[in-house]
Structure 1
C-alpha cells in the first residue's frame, strides 16, 4: 500500500510540475509577443513623429502615401479635425488648395479609400460613418484661369463653396462631388456619378449629372425626392 501511495503521489507531483512547466512556457510566449507588439507600436509612433517633425520644417505633404494611421496622424498634426474612433485613410490621398488641413473634418467610423482627391480651398465635412470609394473627387472651388470668355459666360459657376456629406452616406468609386453640394444622410452615390446639386436623405443617385434612381427605406414620395434631386445646370 505504501508503494502504491508513493507511486500515486509521484505521478501527481510530476503532473503538477508538468503543468507548471507548460504554464511557464505559455507565459514566456505571451510576454515575448507583447514585447514584440510594444516594440512595433513604439517604432510606429517614432516613425509618425519623425515624419511630422520633417513636415513641420518643409511644410505638410499634398499627397499622403503612408499607412492609414500615419495619414490620420499627419492630417491631425496640421489642423484637420479628426474623430477619435475607428477611421481608415488609405493611400494615396491628394490634397489641393492649402498647405494647412483645417478645412477638413472627418468624423468617427469614416473610411477613405485610395486615389482620393480632396480640394481644401473651402471646407469639406464628412459626418460619422461616411465612406469614400477609390478615385472619388470632391471639389470646393471652380475657376477658369485665363480663359476670359468662359469666365464671362460662366461667372455664376465660379467661386468657393463648402461640401457636406452627412452621416452614413457612401460615395462609390470614381464619383465627382462639385462645390457647394450637401449630400443627405444614408445616401448612396453610384460609381462615376457627377453630383452638382444637393441630395436629400435616403436616396440612391447615379449618372452624369446625378439623378435619383430610387429611395432607400423612408416614407417620402418618389416624386417629391425626384424634384429635390434633379441635377440640371449649375448648383444654386
Structure 2
C-alpha cells in the first residue's frame, strides 16, 4: 500500500482525491489534512496567507502522524503567488516537519510538463486576472511559454467546487489555443478526476489539472513511477521515472 498525504486549505473539492484513489486502484491511499483558510475567495492576500509557514507547518505536523510516504501542498494558488523562491521554501517547511519527501501543486505542474516534454501551454483558470498573471510569471521562470490565459473569474473556492461538469468541460475546451501543446487547469478546488480523459479526447492533446498533477507528484515522490495504462490522463500513462526535480535536495 502506498500512502501519499495532501495538505489542502479549507474545504471545497477534497473529495476529488477519493475519486483519484478509486481510479488508481486499491493499493493507493490519499489522505487529506485540512490547513487553515480564513477566507476561500480568490484574492492575493488570502492565498499568501494560506501558503504561510504557520499554516503549512500546522498541517504538516498533523500529517506527520499519518504514516505517509510523501506529502504534497495541494493548492496551486498559495504556492505560485509566492514565486519560485517562496514555493521552494514552502516545500522545505513541509519536508522538514514531516520528515518525508514533499512538493506542491505549483511545482508538480512544472515537473509534469518536464516529464511530457511540453513547454507551450494554454491556461484555463478559474481565478481573476491578477492571480492568473502570478501563475504566468511562475511558469515563465521555469522556462514555460504561456501562449494564452483565460480567466473564469469565479469568486471563491466553494463556487469552483460546485461548477457543473459540463460547464468545466466547455470552459477548458473553448480556451485551448492552436499553439499550445497542453491546457493547464490550475485550481485544486475544481473536481477533475473524471473529466481529464473526456477533455483530452475532445481536445486531442494533454490536459493537466491541479489535483491530477498533485496526485501524480505525490506518487512520484513515493517511488511509484511506472506508467499506468488506464490513466487518468496522458500524464499517468507516461509515468514519472524520467523527471528531474526542480526542487532543492532534501
Structure 1 or 2: more strand by fraction: 1
**Which structure has the bigger radius of gyration?**
1
Which protein, 1 or 2, shows the higher relative CO under an 8 Å CA cutoff with sep ≥ 6? 2
- Give yes or no for TM over 0.5: no
